[in-house]
Amino acid sequence: MASGDASGRHGGNLAAVARELGRPPRHLLDASASLVPFGPAWPLRLELAATCAGWPLRAYPDRELLRLRQALARHHGLDPAWVLPGNGAAELCTWAARDAAAAGVSLLPAPGFADYPRALQCWGGAVQPLALPLRWGATFPQAFPLGDPPAAAVLWLTNPHNPTGQLWSRASLEPLLRRFALVICDEAFLPLTAPEIGGQQSLIPLLERHPNLVVIRSLTKLHAIAGLRLGYALAHPDRLRRWADWRDPWPVNALAAAAGVALLRPRRAQRWQRRVGAWLAREGPWLQAALAALPGVEPLPSATNFLLLHSRSGPDGAGSLLPLQQALRGRHGILLRDCRSFSGLDGHWLRIGLQGRRANRRIVAALGGELRPAAAR
């Protein structure tokens, strides 16, 4: 893959951009990936060091991943048979896509995450886009805007939605479980919403009543462990047993499995979630207001830890934000997400991952330094 594509079209390519710019990664601020800006937690680092020093690193991982499945099941109030850990959410999307391709046409909300069509393409799955409105209110949750969709057997959802940040209500999603043969709901960002709002919208409580439902979660973003690659699927045990038979014998390594068990210890998980909630409540509104005060761009309302930024100049070409993105990268060492990899978006859109206050100030100052002289011309 060419470096321009790797660094420009997707988020979280810190190493590739650092090579391209000739700078150490530590000198760059990566707001193209949507991770919590603190962590991994020190207790986790110590436990990983202990794992490296002991027998788990020498032995093959437990193929059943029993301790991790038990920890995840306890966390969600399920039986371990309803849990399948994976090498990040992306791996699990691949197996969900195999089921989806066999079921029929997949309805994909657009704009949407590029990994879903990638996964469906692996199995020759048919895709039908569902255009989402690109304007919405600032009060969450909201009703899912299904409208009158084309015929399809499978519906893919991301809640909160990536890249818009919209949070859809469980009440509006539950009827869809009777309408589609298979519903795949990616809740990777749901722990990164206000707990009193987002926690009530998960479809996990509906799993036992709806064998056609798959919920995919990730520990990567919540705990800043993208390098470990750890996600999990929650679904009917028959479905998960089939997926387990399809895939490689050891998809989750021993370090990732140990990290998952450590992170899900009840008191530790609760403390971490409170810390994340406080950060979101403090930094989300601050960054939204600071960006709204800048000329030439408009931040759209978001329920999660990223903001979709739109050019105020309209779709005539003059208002492309790609030169702005390149300026921030080259002159300021700040990486924002190019949204052209999301179907339905073009160069008039950027996505910014929420940071801590110091880094958020750095982003706003850099944007202002580029946008205000341009607006004055």
What is the pLDDT, as a whole number, of residue 298?
96
Least confident residue range of 43-57, 147-161, 215-229: 43-57
Give the up-direction half-sphere exposure of residue 315: CA atoms within 13 A in the CB hemisphere: 3
pLDDT tens per residue across span 128-165:
999 999 999 999 999 999 988 889 999 999 999 999 99
What is the pLDDT, as a whole number, of residue 5?
38
Phi, psi of 112 (to 5 degrees): -160, 170
> Residue 4 pLDDT > 50, yes or no?
no
pLDDT tens per residue across span 192-207:
999 889 989 999 999 9
Average pLDDT over every residue of 279-300 = 97
Amino acid at residue number 270:
Q
> Residue 7 pLDDT > 50, yes or no?
no
What is the pLDDT, as a whole number, of residue 301?
98
Please work out, in degrees rounded to the nearest 5, the angle formed at the alpha carbon of residue 250 by the alpha carbons of 99 and 65. Answer: 90
Nearest-Å Rg of the Cα atoms of the chain is 21
Q: Tell me whether the omega of the peptide bond preceding residue 141 falls within 30 degrees of 0, making it cis.
A: yes
Contacts 24+ apart (CB under 8 A), 367-372: 367/291, 367/294, 367/297, 367/324, 367/328, 368/294, 369/332, 370/324, 370/327, 370/328, 370/331, 371/294, 371/295, 371/296, 371/297, 371/324, 372/294, 372/295
> Residue 232 pLDDT > 70, yes or no?
yes
Phi, psi of 259 (to 5 degrees): -65, -45
Q: Which domains does the chain have, with CATH numbers?
A: 3-40+269-376 (3.90.1150.10), 42-266 (3.40.640.10)
What is the pLDDT, as a whole number, of residue 56?
74
pLDDT band at 318 (very low <50, low <70, confident <90, very high): low
Query: Considering the chain, what is the average pLDDT of its residues?
Result: 92
What is the pLDDT, as a whole number, of residue 314?
53
Pairing of strands 213-218, 231-234: antiparallel
Neighbours of 141 (CB within 10 A): 21
> Residue 26 pLDDT > 70, yes or no?
yes
Top-confidence residue, 287 or 55: 287
